[in-house]
Structure 1
Amino acid sequence: MAVGSAFQAALGMGLALLVVPILALLDPGFIPGPMLLAGTVLTAMTAYQERDAIDRKGLAISLLGLLVGTVIGAVSLQYAAGPNVQRVFGAVILVAVLISVLGSHVVPNTRNLIMGGGAAGVMGTMVGIHGPPISLVFQGAEPRVARAMLGAFFTIAYLGSVAALALDGLFGRAGVERAVVLLPGVGIGLALAPVVRRCVNRRRLRVAILAVAAISGVLLVLK
């Protein structure tokens, strides 16, 4: 959680794709709700630090898609719950990796913002990985703008997913307690972020994170 948080705060990626697959292998109870609730602290801090770079209109449009996708994801997860839930997690993780690898330049227009937000809502509510679909929309933006927009989007997305899970009876007191376990990692990651921003090669980091996520996804499917 500390490593993923440091990468996310410094470079705008790393939290979900790195942390979720590993947590799913260690203990599926940490995803999606606990990881999302703990991650809200990180994304809110990121958005606040660069709040003047947020495009409020673009954010509002993407949130319309997010709302629909979150509901679909919560319903889908309820039907997927059971002995095969880890395989479902693994499959969705592999889809997220595929989107990240194959995604081409996407213009942040109304249609793409809605589609990206919707896909993020479905994937994020099911396994806690909102990033790949919506990140594609902002991949051509200035880094500061991308970090601010994604931070704001993820904050609202994470809280919305947790609320949807709670309404479906899939997140409760035990989930909150697990989220508290993850919070120290968030704090350490925020403290390390300035060092990471100076020292880490973004392209190599992206390849490494996608590799870890892909391997973990395959292990979950085969488990």
Structure 2
Amino acid sequence: MPASLPVLALAWVLTLAGAAVHGTIGMGIALVSVPILALVDPALVPVPQMLLALVLNGFVFWRDRGALDTRGLGWVIAGRVPGAALGAWLVAILGVRLLSITVASSILAAVLILASGVTLARTRATCFLAGVGSGVGNHVAAMGGPALALIYHRAAGPTLRSTISTVFIVGNVINLVARAVAGQIVPADLTLAGLLLPAMLLGLWSSRFLTSRVEGAVLRAAILWVSGLAAAGLLAKSLLVG
């Protein structure tokens, strides 16, 4: 058994909750489960959660594929590539702690601005910049979702979920292939992912009862709250732990 039963039970609960949030607003499994699981048992992250996220995002994309923002998607993905490179360069220059503080502060500032009622139009430029921000955030702290959610927070739920999930799928595949080539995926990762898969599927299934209720202003509020809490958590960790 790669983990004790109490740890697996906790991982089940967190994965179920994270998948339910993710299936409802398009992101959340990494923000809800990964920080706690990393403290409880490092073996549970990141590969098992990356494998689960790949499957989860595939299901979310397929469910809402008819509303995919194909025009904005291309610009977001185009921004992710230089964003990842920029993140790597900035980490080398500034260090993970300072860059994490910068990323978290930027997300919090954006959340406060958007919460005040300011509308951020989805253009080629803003989609590209959101992709860059997502690439940097993902490289620094595995937080690629908030930058994307903020640019799509006024989109219809299916559009937000399908588009963000597609970006996540591309990122997950690249990360998993890179880890496989580097020999960083071991049999225990596959076992843990398999043990947690039912929890992820149950969470995704439960989200079908929430998506119709979490739309419009409620969806926008949920996006801002989840993004803000994730950024606040990263900021607190960076300031207190280093």
TM-score, normalised relative to structure 1: 0.76
Could you tell me which residue of structure 2 aligns to residue 194 of structure 1?
A: 208
Q: Which one of 175, 184, 187 corresponds to residue 171 of structure 1?
A: 184
Could you tell me which residue of structure 2 aligns to residue 98 of structure 1?
A: 108
Q: Which one of 131, 148, 152 corresponds to residue 117 of structure 1?
A: 131
In structure 1, give the amino acid aligned to 2:63: Q
Distance 2:223 2:80 in 1: 27
Q: What percent identity do the matched residue pairs reach?
A: 26
For the aligned residue pairs, the C-alpha RMSD in angstroms reads 3.5
Structure 1, 10-19 or 106-115: larger mean CA deviation: 10-19
Could you tell me which residue of structure 2 aligns to residue 10 of structure 1?
A: 24
Deviation at 1:170, TM superposition (A): 8.1
Q: Which has the larger radius of gyration?
A: 2
Q: Please say if residues 47 and 149 of structure 1, whose CA atoms lie closer than 8 Å, have aligned partners that are also in contact.
A: yes
Go from structure 1 to structure 2 and tell me whether the alpha carbon gap of 1:220 and 1:178 turns closer, same or farther (over 3 Å shift): farther
Could you tell me which residue of structure 2 aligns to residue 69 of structure 1?
A: 83
Distance 1:41 1:180 in 2: 11
Q: Deviations over 1:122-164 (max 9, x none)?
A: 2223332211111111112122211221121221122223334
Deviation at 1:190, TM superposition (A): 1.2
Distance 1:205 1:64 in 2: 23
Deviation at 1:43, TM superposition (A): 0.9
Q: Does 1:60 find its partner at 2:74?
A: yes
Q: Please say if residues 111 and 150 of structure 2, whose CA atoms lie closer than 8 Å, have aligned partners that are also in contact.
A: no
Tell me, what secondary structure is at the counterpart of 2:172? helix
Go from structure 1 to structure 2 and tell me whether the alpha carbon gap of 1:35 and 1:213 turns closer, same or farther (over 3 Å shift): farther
Could you tell me which residue of structure 1 aligns to residue 171 of structure 2?
A: 157
Distance 1:170 1:89 in 2: 28
Go from structure 1 to structure 2 and tell me whether the alpha carbon gap of 1:73 and 1:92 turns closer, same or farther (over 3 Å shift): same
Q: How many residues align?
A: 217
Tell me, what secondary structure is at the counterpart of 1:195? coil
Structure 1, 33-42 or 171-180: larger mean CA deviation: 171-180
Could you tell me which residue of structure 2 aligns to residue 133 of structure 1?
A: 147
Q: Deviations over 1:170-208 (max 9, x none)?
A: 832255455445433311211211234466765368637
Distance 1:221 1:27 in 2: 23
Q: Please say if residues 36 and 159 of structure 1, whose CA atoms lie closer than 8 Å, have aligned partners that are also in contact.
A: no
Return 5+ residue gaps in structure 1 as ranges.
none
Go from structure 1 to structure 2 and tell me whether the alpha carbon gap of 1:209 and 1:60 turns closer, same or farther (over 3 Å shift): closer
Deviation at 1:220, TM superposition (A): 6.3
Go from structure 1 to structure 2 and tell me whether the alpha carbon gap of 1:129 and 1:10 turns closer, same or farther (over 3 Å shift): same
Q: Does 1:108 find its partner at 2:122?
A: yes
